[in-house]
């Protein structure tokens, strides 16, 4: 019988160790170390080395589990359990010396996430949760905000960087939000956006064209912190559907009505 609580704390320690490595390498990465995987999708040896470390240790924690990992370090598919890994979420920030990036690890059992850890490296903030428990930040319980209206809310998003099919409608939505909220932030790490929403710093987050490893851990932490996770239609296809909304329950209707109207 797997204890998700014990497993979660093991993953927290591992993510912290990988985060220390990433931080140490920040000043050592040179332009020639940067590879372009696809349009505006960058990678370096830091991402690859971090993922190898995560895969190696996670395989020891739960030998039967497979992996869905951004850099493709392992192609093992687990029958029941699969780790979903982003070794360095916010690579572009990292490579440009912008200090917001994270390590993100989620665990999927069947069709649902049951564990999530996001370690924000530069602030030394580790957010985590497991099925049946609460959500935590460095040992303290966290909850989503109780903000009641969009007028009082602070939101987060990510700008499209390779898939521009919704761009015009997207900026129409941003225009409306700029006029009717306290602001919209674009930090550059979806995992960080999500956990900041989980602890009440943001009241909602939305983005499209994300991958499972960008959102798995952070979205689960939001859910355990009392938040709502959906796709743009209000459904459940957010893990692999490449669109996600995270919002506190009080704001859900007002925000979703506006989003669906503007994004059509």
Choose the final residue of a domain: 118, 141, 164: 141
Which pLDDT score, from 0 to 100, does residue 166 have?
Answer: 78
Could you list the pLDDT tens digit for every one of the 264 residues in the chain? 789 999 999 999 999 999 999 999 888 876 666 666 555 455 678 889 999 999 999 999 999 999 999 888 898 999 999 999 999 999 889 988 999 999 999 999 999 999 999 999 999 999 999 999 999 999 999 999 999 999 999 999 998 766 777 788 999 999 999 999 999 999 999 999 999 999 999 999 999 999 999 999 999 999 999 999 999 999 999 999 999 999 999 999 999 999 999 987
Tell me, what CATH number does 29's domain have? 3.30.540.10
Asked if 121 and 224 sit in the same domain, the reply is no
Asked if 195 and 238 sit in the same domain, the reply is yes
Residues 106, 112: Cα–Cα separation, whole Å: 10
Contact 91, 187 (CB under 8 A): no
Which pLDDT score, from 0 to 100, does residue 37 have?
Answer: 58
Which pLDDT score, from 0 to 100, does residue 40 have?
Answer: 43
Asked if 132 and 8 sit in the same domain, the reply is yes
Give how many domains the chain has, as a whole number: 2
Choose the final residue of a domain: 120, 141, 162: 141
Which pLDDT score, from 0 to 100, does residue 147 have?
Answer: 98
Tell me the per-residue pLDDT of 207-242, one tens digit each, with 9 for 90 and over.
999 999 999 999 999 999 999 999 999 999 999 999
Tell me, what CATH number does 232's domain have? 3.40.190.80
Asked if 56 and 135 sit in the same domain, the reply is yes
Asked if 162 and 134 sit in the same domain, the reply is no
Strand pairing of 204-208 and 184-185?
A: unpaired
Name the nearest CA neighbour of 213 among 48, 44, 72.
Answer: 72
Task: Output the CA torsion sign for 219, 223, 227, 229.
Answer: positive
Location of structure tokens 């093991």: 10
Helix (H, G, I), strand (E, B) or coil at 118: strand
Asked if 127 and 197 sit in the same domain, the reply is no
Asked if 11 and 40 sit in the same domain, the reply is yes
Name the nearest CA neighbour of 52 among 80, 22, 27, 30.
Answer: 22
Asked if 110 and 226 sit in the same domain, the reply is no
Contact 118, 104 (CB under 8 A): yes
Instruction: Give the domain extent around 67.
Output: 4-141
Asked if 172 and 136 sit in the same domain, the reply is no
Asked if 123 and 240 sit in the same domain, the reply is no
Q: What is the model's pTM?
A: 0.95
Asked if 259 and 199 sit in the same domain, the reply is yes
Choose the final residue of a domain: 99, 117, 141: 141
- Biggest alpha carbon–alpha carbon distance for the chain: 52
Q: Supply the mean pLDDT for the chain.
A: 93
Asked if 168 and 111 sit in the same domain, the reply is no
């Amino acid at each position: 019988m797997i204890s998700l609580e014990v497993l979660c704390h093991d993953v927290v320690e591992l993510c912290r160790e990988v985060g220390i490595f990433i931080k140490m390498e920040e000043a050592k990465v040179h332009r020639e170390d940067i590879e372009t995987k696809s349009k505006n999708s960058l990678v370096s040896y830091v991402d690859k080395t971090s993922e190898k470390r995560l895969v190696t240790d996670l395989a020891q924690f739960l030998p039967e589990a497979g992996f869905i990992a951004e850099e493709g370090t392992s192609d093992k598919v687990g029958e029941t359990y699969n780790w979903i890994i982003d070794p360095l979420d916010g690579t572009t920030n990292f490579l440009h010396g912008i200090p917001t990036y994270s390590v993100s690890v989620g665990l999927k059992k069947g069709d649902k996430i049951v564990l999530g850890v996001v370690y924000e490296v530069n602030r030394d903030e580790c957010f985590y949760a497991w099925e049946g428990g609460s959500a935590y930040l460095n040992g303290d319980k966290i909850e989503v905000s109780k903000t009641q209206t969009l007028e009082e809310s602070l939101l987060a998003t990510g700008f499209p960087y390779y898939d521009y099919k919704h761009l015009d409608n997207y900026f129409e939505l941003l225009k409306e939000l700029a006029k009717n909220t306290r602001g919209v932030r674009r930090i550059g790490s979806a995992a960080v956006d999500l956990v900041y929403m989980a602890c009440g710093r943001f009241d909602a987050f939305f983005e499209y064209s994300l991958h499972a490893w960008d959102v798995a851990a952070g979205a689960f932490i939001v859910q355990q912190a009392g938040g709502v996770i959906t796709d743009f239609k209000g459904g459940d296809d957010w893990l692999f559907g490449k669109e996600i909304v995270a919002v506190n329950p009080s704001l859900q209707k007002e925000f979703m009505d506006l989003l669906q109207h503007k994004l059509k």
